[in-house]
């Protein structure tokens, strides 16, 4: 699996882009999007180092791929894209070794998703102090972890809704008409042959009369 866009945005937002080396709150030399020497992606981060943004992107991709490969083997159940991305963001931040021993992973493998999401938020300290940045990052990861992976829902346009309603109305009218004709035919079929003839003649006369009246009214309106 690979980190999804939502997970990647969390990593980028909270790691931040620094093109000059600096010491993180844990007193570790860091550069780019939180890349350290311990990440093992081909860079020895030290004081006074500078890289380009393209290099920072390349190191981030390599690091995420490497961390993903290290933690995937520890899953005993298949995570959703959001769950995987949230846990990979956590592992990238705290280290693959710490993640493998985490309660978050244990609860996830046990099927306790709410518990795993809660345990994910526990990693909010550096140097024994709770950091607001880590609190916000864990909250974002927890939200992503618990979010459903759903397909896009296409919302009908007003025109489409009107067409659908019109179609359904016509279908209903047709069904009523067919139902009426069928019912009438069935009722006539139950009568004797002589009565059937009388009924048919009466219906014919009635329809002819209605047609005559309608024609005369049209002539009157036209005149």
Residue 160 has pLDDT above 50, yes or no: no
55 is catalytic: no
pLDDT tier at 75 (50, 70, 90 boundaries)?
A: very high
Mean pLDDT over 104-123 rounds to 98
% of the chain exceeding 70 in pLDDT: 67
Measured distance CA(14)–CA(153) in Å, rounded: 30
Residue 57, pLDDT score: 86
Higher pLDDT, 39 or 104: 104
Over residues 33-55, the pLDDT tens digits come to 989 998 889 999 999 999 999 99
| Confidence at residue 25, expressed as pLDDT on a 0 to 100 scale | 81
- Which pLDDT belongs to residue 61? 85
46-50, 73-77, 186-190: which range is least confident on average? Answer: 186-190
- Is 188's pLDDT higher than 50? no
Q: How far apart are CA 43 and CA 63, in angstroms?
A: 11
Q: 119, 141 in Cβ contact below 8 A?
A: no
pLDDT at 157: 38
Active site residue 202: no
Task: Compare 23 and 195 and report the one with higher pLDDT.
Answer: 23
Nearest to 34 by CA among 145, 72, 42, 45: 45
- The predicted pLDDT at position 223 comes to 53
Report CA Rg, the chain. Answer: 36
Position 72 confidence tier, pLDDT thresholds 50, 70, 90: very high
- Residue 136 to residues 11, 32, 122: CA-CA distances in angstroms? 12, 20, 12
Between 61 and 150, residue with greater pLDDT = 61
Which of 9, 24, 53, 114 is an active site residue? 24
The answer, as to whether pTM is greater than 0.75, is: no
The pLDDT value recorded for residue 180 is 46
């Amino acid at each position: 699996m690979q980190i999804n866009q939502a997970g990647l945005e969390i990593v980028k937002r909270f790691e931040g882009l620094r093109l000059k080396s600096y010491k993180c709150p844990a007193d570790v030399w860091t550069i780019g999007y939180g890349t350290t020497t311990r990440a093992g992606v081909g860079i020895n981060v030290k004081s006074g180092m500078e890289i380009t943004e393209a290099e920072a992107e390349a190191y981030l991709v390599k690091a995420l791929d490497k961390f993903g490969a290290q933690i995937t083997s520890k899953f005993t159940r298949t995570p959703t894209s959001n769950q995987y991305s949230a846990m990979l963001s956590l592992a990238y931040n705290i280290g693959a070794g710490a993640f493998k021993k985490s309660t978050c992973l244990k609860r996830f493998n046990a099927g306790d998703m709410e518990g795993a999401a809660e345990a994910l938020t526990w990693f909010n300290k550096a140097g024994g102090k709770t950091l607001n940045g880590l609190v916000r990052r864990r909250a974002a990861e927890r939200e992503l972890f618990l979010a459903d992976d759903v397909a896009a829902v296409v919302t009908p346009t007003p025109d489409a809704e009107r067409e659908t309603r019109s179609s359904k109305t016509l279908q209903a009218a047709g069904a009523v008409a067919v139902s009426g004709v069928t019912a009438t035919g069935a009722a006539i079929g139950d009568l004797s042959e002589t009565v059937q003839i009388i009924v048919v003649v009466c219906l014919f006369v009635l329809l002819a009369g209605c047609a005559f009246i309608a024609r005369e009214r049209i002539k009157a309106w036209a005149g």
